Amino acid sequence: MIVAPELQPHGIRNEDSYIRAHVSPTARKILVFRTADMLANINQNNYRTASAGQNGVLGITARGYLVPWRGLPFIRCIESKKPWWNNFADSQPEGQKGKRAVDVVVMAMTAGKFPFWVEPHIVTDVNIDIKGTDLTVEGTWRIQVKCDFNAGITGNLFIQFEECNPMKRY
């Protein structure tokens, strides 16, 4: 068994994401929000923290805020009974769960269920309008996907702010 090294700042405060998607296979939900909205929420509230570990590692490998997500107006909840949730098991290595969570988000996007925050612009050029375009849309979509296995059941998102990764599972 590997002993966990000291935790380092890593998570929502250090990442370069615009949107976060927390995938909860046990509840068959994807909880999606703009990273900046969650940061503002965390800065305004005093959430309790929790620790997490990895199989095969002795000690704490992550620390994060426990954020009750129900009732937060900036969170979008995607629920699906589709087979997106097959092939998930809590006993899987973290890297495997993470890759499966990304697959689920891709399936939600492909199905048109994933929210994207955009900047719409009304077309004022009459020649473009005549050709059938009334709006153009711009957006920034750097998305961080987290497998937050039980978030939909516990009612809390685990919003990580420190970690170590001695097993190098990505």
| Residue extents of the structural domains in the chain | 2-163
pTM as predicted: 0.91
Distance in angstroms (rounded) separating the CA atoms of residues 84 and 113: 13
Q: How confident is the model at residue 27 (pLDDT cuts 50, 70, 90)?
A: very high
pLDDT recorded at residue 139 = 84
pLDDT recorded at residue 170 = 66
Contacts of 30 (CB under 8 A, 6+ apart): 21, 22, 23, 24, 77, 78, 80, 104, 105, 108, 114
Contacts of 167 (CB under 8 A, 6+ apart): 2, 54, 56, 57, 93, 94
Q: Which residues share a beta bridge with 156?
A: 68
Q: What DSSP character marks residue 21?
A: E
Q: Which residues share a beta bridge with 64?
A: 50, 160
